[in-house]
Structure 1
Amino acid sequence: MVGILVIAMALGALMWLAYRGLSLLLLAPALALLAVLLAEGGPVLASYTQVFMQATGGFVIQYFPLFLLGAVFGKLMEASGSARALADGIIRGLGPRRAILAVILSCAVMTYGGVSLFVVAFAVWPIASALFREAELPKVLIPATIALGAFTFTMTALPGTPAIQNAIPMPYFGTTPFAAPGLGVICGALMLGLGWAWLEYRARALGPGYGDAPQDGTGTDGRAAPPLGVAAAPLVLVLVLNLGFTFAVIPTMDTGYLARPEYGQTDIGALRGVWSIIAALTLASLALVALNWRRLADGLADTLERGASDALKPIFNTASLVGFGAVIASLSAFGMIRDWVVTVGGDNPLISLAVGTSLLAGMTGSASGGMSIALATLGETYREMGAAAGISPDLLHRVTAVATGGLDALPHNGAVITLLTICGLTHRQAYGDVAMVAVAIPVLALIVLVTLGTLLGSF
């Protein structure tokens, strides 16, 4: 019982101190080793070098290419003006009377195409501000509107999304980014529809008026943005190439050599999804540079450097959370927690998977971090339980991904804090609506997903 209390205190401290702004690179190992010391008086140094660092390094080795290429692609979209052109084109096309939907869709298009949600927030905010002011909509709804488009259905539900949350389950379940596409579309539509309805309701309830705030800046660097078709082409390429490599190119390749020791004694089933996203993002980035050469040529080296640098903090933060989870999982008390989690839902492992992943995402304030901890500690257990219950790995994949996109957006989430800072608002002013569209509604969608998956299976 003492061990369970220590684990709960370590997770609570991680959440609270991260909210206070302390670095996860320092917090995660420090709290993990403190838990080892308090729970078992165990070998602290061995836990650090042989457990924490092994798990942290393993995550970096496996997923660094996705973080790197995603960050570079997003920076190229930003530097070329493509992100701004896409947001502006969608918003102007729908008009101010559909301002809320326009902002949601502009965020969704960019994140579904592989642009980092942080880049999307910076790119869309100035235009959303101007449009909300023109339509006399409350400024306090802008963070929730951006969060709905960038943090929810395109991150976890829609099939084929290159988001890291859709990639992490692949090696555990041998799946692809297009796992359970029908169920993913249903969940995505539910999040979009209910979230949009809530924001429209809140706009009517709050009444007309942008609010008492100084004029928000919408300036640019003066560089001409590309035409809308040119701006959209790289995003379309990411999706098309991802699909093509997943189902057409890689399955035809001779990959028998993967069984050899020097290649990790694995098979293409564990690598196909990751390889597809790597290839898609690489080729789409090259196409983006070619299409925008005159806009990017002068500062291309600097743009690539900044993109590569932008990948480092997110992956090491997430990897540190994975290391934290590995140390916690090594404690004897965690066995009792694991035994309890796998019994939630009785004979239905989907319920256990959804609850466990959601709780860990909420505790860490990170969708990818919570998912990584859940799968690193219980992934093999869930795969075996799913096989015994006749549940498709694709369904396990989609439940895992969607389960991360609810409680992860609690107040201490880094993306939430960044978004509120960009918009110049506080948690007290705007977080309630963020919580509705990015926490409550995604949790409802998860319940629908588990129910449909239990009754109908994967489709």
Structure 2
Amino acid sequence: MGLLGILLGLGLLVWLAYRGWSVLLLAPAAALVAAGFAGEPLLAHWTQTFMGSGARFIAQFFPLFLLGALFGKLMEDSGAVDAIAGFMTDRLGPQRAVLAVVLAGAIVTYGGVSLFVAYFVLAPMAMALFRAADIPRRLMPAAIAVGSSTFTMSALPGTPAIPNTIPMPFFGTTPFAAPGLGIVASAVMLGIGLWWLRRAEAQARARGEGFGEDRPGAAQAAADDPLVRERAVTAREFDPAEIHRSEPATPPPPIGIAALPLVVVVAVNLLMTFIVLPAMDTEFLAEPRWGGITLSAVAGVWAVATALFAAILVLVASNGHRLPSLRASMDAGANAAVLPVFSVASLVGFGAVVAAMPAFEAVRDWVLGIGGGPLVSLAVATNVLAALTGSASGGLTIALDALGPTYMALAAEQDIDPGLLHRIAVIGAGTLDILPHNGAVITLLAVCGCTHRESYGDIVIVGIVSSIVALISVILLGSLFGSF
């Protein structure tokens, strides 16, 4: 009965979430279904297990959700993202429209701009480029996804994306975990993505297929769609409802000023990770009032948070005068972080209740018994949970909450670098999360004015297939040569 309750609760969560129900309601309800079938105390699991785990997630990661959403909103409203997109358009032109969209997405998301902010800026840029180049509009979502939703989220060393920060407290790693393997995985994802898009463009031209029907106003409609919002907030760290709550600056700033905050994010992240934090005296963290922890438990979060905070200061100092209303932009950015962090925390709370069920031991034994060793079983666990929840962040946290200590013990026994576990876990969570019910996929299609029927097949190749190939490559290289 316990295992049936887990499956029923998970099925209820996935089915109703896809139909647009709020995860804030569904997650505790599904957790109570699982606990009820197991004959466990319902109220105790709700207030202690569910809320306790969710609260720990918020305590660990809300600074990153807050600063990431705030930075993204300020970059949008200052015109910096528009300036970067415009620069790529001018330099590469319609003849390289696909490459321009991919590179613009990669630059802004690796620099710390929230994924959904990037979507709402890149979609109009892509539409203008694809229209001028007479490339089918249906390829726009895949082109945006390659640059913004694949390697800059899960593989490129140092990326400040939330999924790349989640394993750090569990494994004691940094955002730059397994940098060589991350670069290999990034090259695989980017290479497959560009190859497929060039192939699809060539086939469309051979058939005489042009841009097709123009659909203006798609981005605005997506931002105002409550169904898109409910699905989106579990996917990444920005609430789409806040996209149009403030006015963007016109004209955009020069490219040097626009790109400066992105450079600051990367540079400060590097300095904090490899120079500043290792040189600090952090023995005080062992005191009870700081939780009795070590630097490795917080170093990654501290590095990314400091990098985003420094970039926000530089952005306001260099570009704040362009903002129509600094307060309105900051309010919108701060508000945009709240619903996503609580939605993901609710998924984490559901996972904690499931992991506390006696029947979960059978699930744990099955996962750990998957052939290929800990690297393969970790990849499978993160893939499956991210796919079911439609959230890389939620699925990854659930997997590591339940199995993280077990994998660390196995790593110690088998001399596996925790950095390798980190990179495999993140790439795994960013693979099958790109299923049709994923909030990022739904939002991306909506802002481009496309449907699943028109564009999802290309997203599968550039998002799922490329990530699976990259994941297999990392597992093979890591098994043969270890982490590098």
Counterpart in 2 of 1:155? 153
Equivalent residue letter for 2:136: P
Q: Comparing 172-181 with 202-211, which one deviates more in the overlay?
A: 202-211
Equivalent residue letter for 2:174: T
Matched, 1:447 2:472: yes
Matched, 1:338 2:361: no
Equivalent residue letter for 1:275: W
Secondary structure of residue in 2 paired with 1:406: coil
Secondary structure of residue in 1 paired with 2:297: helix
Counterpart in 1 of 2:329? 303
Matched, 1:273 2:300: yes
Structure 2: how far apart are the matches of 1:426 and 1:9? 30
Task: Note closer, same or farther for the CA distance 1:330–1:215 as it changes in structure 2 (3 Å cut).
Answer: closer
Q: CA deviation at 1:216?
A: 6.0
Counterpart in 1 of 2:242? none
CA contact under 8 A between 2:345 and 2:394: conserved in structure 1? Answer: yes
Q: CA deviation at 1:259?
A: 0.4
* Residue-by-residue CA offset, 1:406-427 (whole Å, 9 max, x unaligned): 1111111111111111111111
Q: CA deviation at 1:159?
A: 0.3
Task: Note closer, same or farther for the CA distance 1:251–1:339 as it changes in structure 2 (3 Å cut).
Answer: same
* Residue-by-residue CA offset, 1:190-231 (whole Å, 9 max, x unaligned): 000101111111122223410123456899967110001111
Q: CA deviation at 1:454?
A: 0.3
User: What is the RMSD computed on CA atoms of the aligned residues?
Assistant: 1.5
Counterpart in 1 of 2:244? none
Task: Note closer, same or farther for the CA distance 1:133–1:174 as it changes in structure 2 (3 Å cut).
Answer: same
CA contact under 8 A between 2:391 and 2:433: conserved in structure 1? Answer: yes
Q: Comparing 303-312 with 431-440, which one deviates more in the overlay?
A: 431-440
5 Å-filtered alignment, 1:149-188, equals 149-188=147-186
CA contact under 8 A between 1:126 and 1:216: conserved in structure 2? Answer: no
CA contact under 8 A between 2:168 and 2:300: conserved in structure 1? Answer: yes
Q: CA deviation at 1:443?
A: 1.3
Q: CA deviation at 1:345?
A: 2.5
Counterpart in 2 of 1:358? 383
CA contact under 8 A between 2:79 and 2:248: conserved in structure 1? Answer: no
Selected match of 1:413 from 438, 443, 452: 438
Counterpart in 2 of 1:190? 188
Task: Note closer, same or farther for the CA distance 1:216–1:34 as it changes in structure 2 (3 Å cut).
Answer: closer
Structure 2: how far apart are the matches of 1:239 and 1:345? 38
Q: Comparing 11-20 with 363-372, which one deviates more in the overlay?
A: 11-20
Counterpart in 2 of 1:25? 24
Structure 2: how far apart are the matches of 1:323 and 1:377? 11
CA contact under 8 A between 1:127 and 1:218: conserved in structure 2? Answer: no
Equivalent residue letter for 2:142: A
Matched, 1:379 2:396: no
Equivalent residue letter for 2:447: I
Matched, 1:398 2:423: yes
* Residue-by-residue CA offset, 1:374-420 (whole Å, 9 max, x unaligned): 00000000011011111101111111111111111111111111111
CA contact under 8 A between 2:424 and 2:471: conserved in structure 1? Answer: yes
Q: CA deviation at 1:50?
A: 0.9
Structure 2: how far apart are the matches of 1:7 and 1:293? 50
Selected match of 1:369 from 394, 408, 418: 394
* Residue-by-residue CA offset, 1:42-72 (whole Å, 9 max, x unaligned): 2111110010000000100110000000000
Task: Note closer, same or farther for the CA distance 1:218–1:147 as it changes in structure 2 (3 Å cut).
Answer: closer
Secondary structure of residue in 2 paired with 1:408: coil
Q: Give the TM-score taking structure 2 as reference length.
A: 0.92
5 Å-filtered alignment, 1:194-209, equals 194-207=192-205, 208-209=209-210
5 Å-filtered alignment, 1:248-267, equals 248-267=275-294
Selected match of 1:326 from 347, 352, 355: 352
Q: CA deviation at 1:92?
A: 1.9
Q: CA deviation at 1:21?
A: 0.8
Q: Give the TM-score taking structure 1 as reference length.
A: 0.97
Counterpart in 1 of 2:2? 3
In structure 2, list runs of 5 or more residues that go unmatched: 221-246
CA contact under 8 A between 1:16 and 1:412: conserved in structure 2? Answer: no
Equivalent residue letter for 1:342: L
CA contact under 8 A between 1:174 and 1:393: conserved in structure 2? Answer: yes
Structure 2: how far apart are the matches of 1:162 and 1:215? 32
Structure 1: how far apart are the matches of 2:62 and 2:145? 25
Structure 2: how far apart are the matches of 1:167 and 1:80? 26
Structure 1: how far apart are the matches of 2:218 and 2:60? 40
Equivalent residue letter for 2:203: A
Q: CA deviation at 1:439?
A: 1.4
Q: Comparing 281-290 with 220-229, which one deviates more in the overlay?
A: 220-229
Secondary structure of residue in 2 paired with 1:322: helix
Q: CA deviation at 1:293?
A: 2.4
Equivalent residue letter for 1:212: E
Task: Note closer, same or farther for the CA distance 1:221–1:264 as it changes in structure 2 (3 Å cut).
Answer: closer
Structure 1: how far apart are the matches of 2:53 and 2:311? 31
Counterpart in 2 of 1:121? 119
CA contact under 8 A between 1:85 and 1:225: conserved in structure 2? Answer: yes
Structure 1: how far apart are the matches of 2:8 and 2:458? 29
Counterpart in 2 of 1:243? 270
CA contact under 8 A between 1:82 and 1:231: conserved in structure 2? Answer: yes
Structure 1: how far apart are the matches of 2:215 and 2:179? 44
Percent identity, aligned pairs only, is 54
Q: CA deviation at 1:88?
A: 1.2
CA contact under 8 A between 2:13 and 2:30: conserved in structure 1? Answer: yes
Counterpart in 1 of 2:227? none
CA contact under 8 A between 1:195 and 1:437: conserved in structure 2? Answer: yes
CA contact under 8 A between 1:138 and 1:206: conserved in structure 2? Answer: yes
Matched, 1:54 2:52: yes
Structure 1: how far apart are the matches of 2:400 and 2:131? 44
Task: Note closer, same or farther for the CA distance 1:215–1:309 as it changes in structure 2 (3 Å cut).
Answer: closer
Task: Note closer, same or farther for the CA distance 1:203–1:337 as it changes in structure 2 (3 Å cut).
Answer: same
Structure 2: how far apart are the matches of 1:432 and 1:408? 15
Structure 2: how far apart are the matches of 1:257 and 1:378? 29
